[in-house]
Amino acid sequence: MKEKKDNLVCSFCGRDKKDTNVLIAGINGHICDHCIRQAGGIVSEELDTREKSELSKSLQLVKPFEIKNFLDQYVIGQEEAKKVLSVAVYNHYKRLTFKEEGGLEIDKSNIIMVGETGTGKTLLARTIARMLNVPFAIVDATVLTEAGYVGEDVESILSRLLQAANYDVKSAERGIVFIDEIDKIARKSGNPSITRDVSGEGVQQALLKLLEGSKVNVPPQGGRKHPDQKFIELDTKNILFIAGGAFDGIAKHITRRMNTKSVGYQSAKERDSVETENILELVSPQDLKSFGIIPELIGRMPVLTYLNPLDEDALKRILLEPNNALIKQYEKLFEMDGITLNILDEAIDFIVEKAVEFNLGARGLRSICEAILTDAMFTLPSDENETKLVVDAQYVQDKLGHLVLKKLKAVS
């Protein structure tokens, strides 16, 4: 009996017990550590293949052209930004279903968008979230601080994504995060800080590990309010990060760079030729660095795009054309009270003219419309005899001639 035990072999590969590190006994056989590792690899690969196959079926790849067409229904103009976003989201979908071949890995391309306030950065993010089959979270960078200080830690970004994924870790690990107001965490000075910059450079440093891809311990309910909660490990390798910011004042960094590029008469002629209506078209990573974004963060967000400021034509189209256009919203609000709202073209032109004057972008349109229609929305629902409201240029001018106009000018 003793001799039989000494001659034990693996039932799978036939190795003798002396040639193995561990030989585990079963009911009618044995398995060695070599076969266990090999079987584990096969099972892991099979499950990964099956998961990617199921994922590719559920995602239903949407081509960039189709994504842009969807964005066109809600966002006016900004063709370059819509094109860049469409390609980035499409490539993100493809990365999720890609099987590594010969050591080849496809890196993710995080995006940073630069544009004035009211040009549609957040709207682009919210709109693209409507059509995605992956979890999508929008977070605000202004509330973030370095770990250990009052405010939210950067891990709270992933907490929002977990909530959007209904706490499904696998689903969250292929999600998309939009970080709004990224410019508000710029360095307070152009040089590296020798003291603690807890809401600027400190936050940028903390974001690095999230953007590049690492395993992060995430507090599912937020960091400090629930100190006893268990952490959830989240791998950020396949999470796409999109950042947007107004970068107020970056134009002077762009013009300074363009004006100091070279010397001589020829360079002066070249400088004259690069003048453009939208200086943000010329934005480069160097300008972000001058603004106060650290080079490490810029390197982890390789795709840089811009949004054009809104001109009169774009503002008029925003009022009338999108599926959720402002005028359509107000018409529906009045219709619910049995009132027909008719805003004449001359009134539309006057509203657009004032919006350009106040320089508030698309948000200025809503401020002006509210100022014009507030009195009507207050009185008409109670007046059963009134079933129609016609808004002409004179009506708009009368309503904007009050204190509201001064307030709007103060904001601009």
Quote the DSSP letter at residue 309. P
pLDDT band at residue 407, thresholds of 50, 70 and 90?
Answer: low
Lowest mean per-residue pLDDT among 47-51, 176-180, 241-245, 372-376: 47-51
What is the spatial distance between Cα 312 and Cα 315, in angstroms, rounded to a whole number? 5
Are 25 and 76 in the same domain?
no
Range of the domain at 21: 2-50
Are 273 and 141 in the same domain?
yes
Q: Would residue 56 count as lying in a domain? A: no
- Sign for the CA dihedral angle at 41, 43, 49, 55 comes to negative
Are 37 and 70 in the same domain?
no
Taking alpha carbons only, the member of 50, 51, 42 closest to residue 238 is 51
Q: For the chain, what percent of residues have pLDDT higher than 70?
A: 81
Give the strand pairing for 388-391 and 23-25: unpaired
Are 105 and 137 in the same domain?
yes
What is the spatial distance between Cα 240 and Cα 390, in angstroms, rounded to a whole number? 47
Are 82 and 107 in the same domain?
yes
> Which residues, in sequence order, are CB contacts of 40 under 8 Å at separation 6+?
none
Q: What is the rounded average pLDDT of the residues 251-257?
A: 86
Are 93 and 133 in the same domain?
yes
Tokens encoding 85: 């976003």
Q: For the chain, what percent of residues have pLDDT higher than 90?
A: 9
CB 201 within 8 A of CB 192: yes
Tokens encoding 108: 């993710």
Q: Is the pTM of this model over 0.85?
A: no
Domain termination site, one of 306, 341, 376:
306
Per the prediction, the chain carries an average pLDDT of: 81
Listing DSSP states for 78-97 in one string gives -HHHHHHHHHHHHHHHHHHH
Count of CB atoms situated within 10 Å of the CB of 280:
20
Are 94 and 108 in the same domain?
yes
Tokens encoding 326: 């402002």
Tokens 């034509």 correspond to 313
CB 301 within 8 A of CB 241: yes
CB 222 within 8 A of CB 236: no
Taking alpha carbons only, the member of 411, 275, 305, 324 closest to residue 73 is 324
Are 271 and 386 in the same domain?
no
Domain count, the chain: 3
What is the spatial distance between Cα 233 and Cα 170, in angstroms, rounded to a whole number? 11
Amino acid at 409: K
Beta-ladder partners of 154: none
CATH of residue 389's domain is 1.10.8.60
Q: Could you tell me the CA-to-CA distances from 328 to 9, 125, 313, 342, 361 in Å, in that order?
A: 78, 22, 18, 11, 19
Beta-ladder partners of 16: 9
Tokens encoding 288: 């972000």
What is the spatial distance between Cα 69 and Cα 86, in angstroms, rounded to a whole number? 10
Q: Would residue 55 count as lying in a domain? A: no
Q: pLDDT digits over 183-203, tens only?
A: 888 876 655 555 666 777 888
Q: What is the pLDDT of residue 93?
A: 81
Are 194 and 128 in the same domain?
yes
Taking alpha carbons only, the member of 284, 262, 345, 292 closest to residue 112 is 284
Q: Would residue 265 count as lying in a domain? A: yes
Beta strand spans in 292-393 (E): 303-306, 340-343, 388-391
Taking alpha carbons only, the member of 69, 71, 124, 362 closest to residue 243 is 124
Q: Would residue 74 count as lying in a domain? A: yes
CATH of residue 156's domain is 3.40.50.300
Listing DSSP states for 16-52 in one string gives BGGG-S-EEE-SS-EEEHHHHHHHHHHHHHHHHHHHH
Q: pLDDT digits over 43-93, tens only?
A: 877 776 666 555 555 556 788 999 999 999 888 888 999 999 999 888 888
Tokens encoding 363: 């948000």
Are 255 and 394 in the same domain?
no
Q: Would residue 224 count as lying in a domain? A: yes
Are 299 and 316 in the same domain?
no
Are 295 and 339 in the same domain?
no
* Residue 217 exposed, middle or buried by CB count within 10 Å (0-12, 13-18, 19+): exposed
Q: Would residue 18 count as lying in a domain? A: yes
